[in-house]
Each structure stands twice: as C-alpha cells, then as structure tokens.
Amino acid sequence: MKTPTLQRPTRKGRKPLFVLIIPRFEDLANAFYAGEVMKGASIAASRLDIDFLTHLTERTDHASWLAGDLLNPNAVDGILFADIDRDWDVVKIAIKAGIPTVVLNNPSDEPFNCIAIDNRRAAAEAVGHLIAQGHRKIAHIAGDLDTQAGQDRLAGYYDALDVAEIARDKKLVKKGGFLRTPAHQAAQALLKENDKPTAIFAASDVMAFEVLDVAKALNIKVPEELSVIGFDNNLSTANATRLATFEQPIVDMARLGVESLYQMSLGLAKLPVKILLEAKFIKGRTTASMK
C-alpha cells in the first residue's frame, strides 16, 4: 500500500497528529481485532480533538510500515502500533527518529511503551475453569504462533496444566493459526481419536466454532461430552450460541494508547507506559462438569 504523504506545518500552532499503523490481516478474528482498535482510537481522538490517521500496511513487509513522512517529527507527533509481530526493531526506528510510540498487544519487559491484554493469564483461567470442572484431558488449538497473543495463550494453557500437575501432551496441542480451515482440521484430528479430549480450549472464537461444527458432524454432544472455550467474544459469532469465551477490552486498549500518546506529546506521561488489561471470562453454555 502506498505510504501517505503528510503535508503538515511545523508543530507550533497546530493540532497533534497521531498515526495508527495496522498490519493487514486476512482472517476474520484479526479483522475483528483491527476494527475494535480503530474504534477505540477514534473515540479518544474525537474526545481529545486531535488529528488522527490510520495507515494500513502489509503485515509481512515491515520495512514499509514507517516509510516516507511517517518518520518526520515535524509532521507526526506519535505512532500507535496496533501490532508489531514481536518486531521491536521497527519500534526502535521510530524512537530513534524522535517519534513517541505506543505498542498495543505486545507486552515487553524492555523500556518500551506498551498497552496489552493479559492473554497468558486469561488462557490459564480458561484451562483452570475446565480443570475445576473435572477435566484432565484438555486440548488446545493454538493461534498464530508468530504473534505474541498466540504464544501467550499457549503459554497460559501450559501454566494451568503445570499448576494442576497434569502432564503436558504435545498430541493435544494443534496449530489453528486463528484460521477456519486449519482449526477445522485440528478439531477433526483431535475428535476422531479413540481417546479423544473431553475439553478443548481454542485460542479464538473463530476456531472454537470450527470445533463445534466438527463435534456436531461427529455426533459429539456439547457440553455433555465435550466442553469448549474460545477467546475474543466476537459478537458476530460468540453470542449466537452462547459460547464460553473471553471478552477482551480491545477498544479500551486502543483508547488508552491514544490518550498515552497525547500525554507524551505534552510531556506529562510517566515513562515507560506499561498497562496490562484483564480479559473477562464469559461462562456461556459450552462447558460442563465431568460426570
């Protein structure tokens, strides 16, 4: 995508201009995420009466994310990264150019400004809920493991098993990539086994619904014979059948990102900005205790 050319006067006497950089995703789950980020950023921009530009980029072409005037500190007062796929070098480039930055969805112990959702803790809560219901053979359909969210949800799954002293079984972890077809294939591989899991935690609602479809085709009753938990609380899907899932404060995360940039532009923010938000568990109707 062509990098926007920003015709801006010097900082004095103008509104701050912030840029939201969003990598273009193909799958539905991340399209939902991107839409929620834009909503939250727009709410903050309107309330603060600032200028705001959304820059859609190719996900794999990180070199193009900061091309052109996006690195001109006289034109841009701050950059909000919707996601960086763990590429902290691209953030360092913006910082070196003198542009304040906030990164969403990628928590870091390094002195970067980050606002994220505690995916690891939420995933551990999901699996802990299943363990409390008596499940011991719990499978996980992982998201895109090139993303921090995917990695953290897998780590949280393992955290809960470790706490309960349930042995890790690599055969119970399948890659779904936040995509429908791989998730469908993963669910088939898990549910066609003779010794099938009694519960599945999927790293997104999109993938959880593939599990439900496969279970229905195989005459496996949910939740009587199989408990399922997703992640996202995507209203276009999750509420349709009251899927057990997690509601992420994505809108709040993006809003806080813009507000933090605004405070940074005024020299009022305490750096580094570090905010970790909790996801809320929605119990739904797709889990049940073991009998």
Q: Is the pLDDT of residue 7 over 50?
A: no
pTM for the predicted model, two decimal places: 0.88
Is position 7 within any domain? no
CA 127 to chain centre: 18
pLDDT of residue 280: 95
Q: Within this chain, do residues 87 and 153 fall inside the same structural domain, yes or no?
A: no
Across the range 239-256, mean pLDDT stands at 89
For residue 202 the two structure tokens come to 């999927």
CATH number of the domain to which 269 belongs: 3.40.50.2300
pLDDT, tens only, 64-79: 888 778 888 888 999 9
Residue 166 lies in a domain: yes
DSSP 8-class letter at 17: E
Q: Are 123 and 229 in contact (CB under 8 A)?
A: no
List residues bridging with 210 in a β-sheet. none
Residue numbers of the domain that contains 235: 119-247
Closest CA relative to residue 209, chosen from 190, 181, 189: 181
CA 272, 45, 232 angle in degrees (round to 5)?
75
Same domain for 138 and 237? yes
Q: Please tell me whether residues 138 and 242 are part of one structural domain.
A: yes
Q: What is the DSSP letter of 132?
A: H
Do the beta carbons of residue 260 and residue 50 sit within 8 Å?
no
Same domain for 132 and 232, yes or no, is yes
15-23 average pLDDT score: 91
**pLDDT value, residue 25:** 64
Q: Flag whether 8 is in a domain.
A: no
The residues facing 140 across adjacent strands are: 173, 201
Residue 4: the pLDDT is: 46
| Angle ∠(201,252,82) on CA atoms, nearest 5 | 75
Query: If we measure between CA atoms, which residue out of 283, 167, 188, 155 comes closest to residue 229?
Result: 283
- Asked if residue 246 lies in contact with residue 233, where contact means CB atoms within 8 angstroms, the answer is yes
User: In this predicted structure, what is the pLDDT of residue 240?
Assistant: 55
Highest mean pLDDT among 55-64, 159-168, 266-275: 159-168
How far is residue 124's CA from residue 144's CA, in Å, rounded to a whole number? 18
Q: How many separate domains does the chain show? A: 2
Whether 238 maps to a domain, the answer reads: yes
The full length of the chain comes to 291
Q: Same structural domain for residues 152 and 234?
A: yes
The one-character DSSP state at 79 is E
| pLDDT over threshold 90, residue 237 | no
Residue 80 has pLDDT above 60, yes or no: yes
Dihedral over Cα of 179, 184, 185, 186: its sign = positive
- SS3 at position 200: strand
Co-location of 154 and 237 in the same domain: yes
Q: Are residues 188 and 126 in the same domain?
A: yes
In a domain, 222, yes or no: yes
CB 32 within 8 A of CB 234: yes
For the chain, percent helix, then strand, then coil, each to nearest 5?
A: 40, 20, 40
283 is a domain residue: no
Bridge-partner residues for 78, per DSSP? 18
pLDDT band at 58 (very low <50, low <70, confident <90, very high): confident
Same-domain check for residues 220 and 126? yes
pLDDT confidence of residue 73: 87
CA dist 54 → 19, 50, 71 (Å): 6, 13, 15
